[in-house]
Amino acid sequence: MSYYDIDAILTDAQKVPCTFELTVPGLGFLDGNMDGDMKKDSKVELPIWLGEMLSLSEMMNTDSLVTLSIPSALGPRVFNALKADPRTVDLRALASHFYNLATRLLEMYVEDINKSEEQEMIRVLSETFKARAAVIADQANNVRGTLGEGADFLRGLDENERQLFRAAHDSAKSVRAWVAEGMKKK
Amino acid sequence: MALPLPPGLTPPEIAFLCEMELVTVIPRQRLEGLDLLGGRTPPLHPPQRANLPLWLALLLKRQRRANILPPPWLSPPALAAILELESTAHAAAPPRLPLAPPGILPISPPFLPSSTADAPRDALPYHWLELGEILLEAASDDFEDPDAVRRLMRDLREVRMANMRKGVEVFDAQGGLSMTGFGGMEVAEGRAFIGGVIDGLRKIGAARERSGDGDQDDQDNGFPSTADDYDDEMDM
């Protein structure tokens, strides 16, 4: 993950639900409460970069300021849908950087995931990515597919998958261009 | 991002490499052997066949000094047989390539007479797609039925690319995909996509290794400790 990677920056800007463990004076503006305090046990959606820093404060031998929980995009409902059929889920509507968000959260300490759930999540994510990649390759090589029945699926691709589609499409296009060039010379 | 080109070779570069392949020509004029960097070409005596590099054969063909004899695997019956094999074979079964003659070290395709008139007819060489396209374009009058060949080539290409894509779904535990039997142009076409899939899977798998104890993870993860070395290459 590079400092200048725009996808990494956008991933960090996605929001996760956080629960405050302490009352913080003057922080109410995060919750739309301009001059007030942030009450203990209030739930706020914070961007990952902020939530990560706040939850890390337990390193300094104090209680963690916030605890992170799983965003709805990675909730059990989504994962059940992915297990049932990875192709029909609109990942983009859930999170524009779905896989990045998932891996980012798995790297961090999130309260309500234990080890075995984590393994399960990674397994489902890998299976999903593979199954969808096969469809992406078919669509990228099929010109009509992008306009017809494939349009709905392609709209639901997350940013990683879009790059994959673009790569597959561009390489197929360059081979076609080379063949066409030979024909023209004739 | 210094280079605007993606990693790997572009189709024109692969076609250029393909011009090293030997093809069989039937000369129409006498020509003494030429001393070239790649060695001396055989002298041409009109009724006798000779093996020349593709680029020289194309040059002579354009000047109407020679006819090119298409390799045996580029005939409609041979292509139809290979197509039959490809479309019925299991997705993971690699298409066949001619083996190097026994007894000598396996040598790379440009030095293997895989596209001359006495090449095996039941297998495709490494540069089959490029060679077929170039010959169809430059020497279509030397084919008996160029339209049938063209149609079969297109079908074959579709089937083989579909087989390659199917391989993505059954990535094995090593996180790799066997590309044995795929031609130069096909590898170039699949490179960006296959690389992208492996990279994506690696990122997903890497989260697990960082998140906790990695010892029992390695097996079912599919990405053993080499993932980091791979990372260095991919970032270039």
- Residue type at B164? M
Mean pLDDT across A70-84: 83
Answer whether A124 touches B (CB < 8 Å): no
* Statement to judge: residues A183 and A104 lie in one domain: yes
In this structure, the answer to whether residues A110 and A177 fall within a common structural domain is yes
Same structural domain, A87 and A31: no
* Neighbouring residues of B133: CB distance < 8 A, sequence distance ≥ 6: A179, A182, B15, B153
What is the phi/psi pair of residue B177, to 5°?
-135, 125
B10: phi then psi, degrees, rounded to nearest 5 = -85, 160
- Kindly report, residue by residue over B125-149, the tens digit of the pLDDT: 778 888 888 888 888 888 888 888 8
Same domain, A119 and A51: no
Q: In the structure, what pLDDT confidence band is assigned to residue B223 with cuts at 50, 70 and 90?
A: very low
Domains in chain A, number: 2
Are residues A107 and A19 both part of a single domain?
Answer: no
DSSP code string of A105-120:
HHHS--TT--HHHHHH
Restricting to A residues 84-123, those with a Cβ less than 8 Å away from any Cβ of B are 99-100, 102-104, 106-107, 115, 118-119, 122-123
Residues A113 and A174 in one domain: yes
Cβ-Cβ contacts under 8 Å, B6 against chain A:
167, 170-171
Integer Cα distance of B179 and B188 in angstroms: 11
Overall fold of domain B11-97+107-169: Ribosomal Protein L9; domain 1 (3.40.5)
Q: Looking at the structure, do residues A92 and A55 belong to the same domain, yes or no?
A: no
- Full residue range of the structural domain in which residue A9 is found: 1-69
> Which CA distances in Å does B97 have to B82, B106, B123, B206?
11, 12, 5, 36
Q: What is the mean pLDDT of the segment spanning B163-177?
A: 67
Q: What integer is the mean pLDDT of B44-55? A: 84
Q: Are both A103 and A37 inside the same structural domain?
A: no
Cα B38 to Cα B206: distance, rounded to the nearest angstrom: 48
Query: Is residue B100 a contact partner of residue B125, using CB atoms and an 8 Å limit?
Result: no
Q: Does A180 touch chain B (CB under 8 A)?
A: no
Q: What is the pLDDT of residues B99-135, one digit of tens each?
A: 555 555 555 555 666 777 777 777 777 788 888 888 8
CA distances to A80, A162, B136, B138 from B28, rounded to whole Å, are 71, 54, 20, 17
Per-residue CA distances from B193 to A151, A171, B43, B78 (Å):
20, 8, 46, 30
Contact residues on chain A for B171, CB-CB shorter than 8 A: 130
What is the predicted pLDDT for the residue at B99? Answer: 52
Half-sphere exposure of B11 (CA within 13 A, CB side): 21
- If asked whether residues A81 and A63 sit together in one domain, one would say no
pLDDT band, residue B195 (cuts 50/70/90): confident
Cα–Cα nearest to A125, from A72, A67, A164, A78: A78
Instruction: Determine if residue A22 is left, alpha or beta; phi over 0 gives left, psi from -120 to 50 gives alpha, anything else beta.
Output: beta
Q: Does B220 touch chain A (CB under 8 A)?
A: yes
Q: Are residue A159 and residue A79 in the same domain, yes or no? A: yes
Contact B185 A175 (CB under 8 A): yes
How are beta strands B22-27 and A15-20 bridged, if at all? unpaired
Whether A12 and A40 share a structural domain:
yes
Is the complex ipTM higher than 0.95?
no
Give the integer Cα–Cα distance in Å for B196 and A132.
13
- Touching check for A142 and chain B: CB below 8 Å? no
Domain end residue (candidates: A69, A92, A125): A69
Q: Over the stretch A101-148, which tens digit does the pLDDT of each residue have? A: 888 888 776 666 677 777 888 888 888 888 888 888 888 877 665 566
Structural domain boundaries in chain B? 11-97+107-169, 184-235
Alpha helices in chain B (DSSP H): 11-18, 54-62, 76-88, 128-138, 146-169, 184-211, 217-221, 227-235
Final residue before a domain boundary, out of A48, A69, A90:
A69
Same-domain check for residues A79 and A25:
no
Amino acid at B14: I
How much is the pLDDT for B222?
42
Count of beta carbons in the 10 Å neighbourhood of residue B185 = 25
| pLDDT value of residue A102 | 85
Q: Look up residue B146 and give its amino acid.
A: P
Mean pLDDT over each residue of chain B, to the nearest integer? 73
What's the pLDDT score for residue B176?
65
Write down which residue in A47, A69, A91 finishes a domain.
Answer: A69
Q: Which amino acid belongs to residue A159?
A: E
CATH code (residue A154):
1.20.58.2050
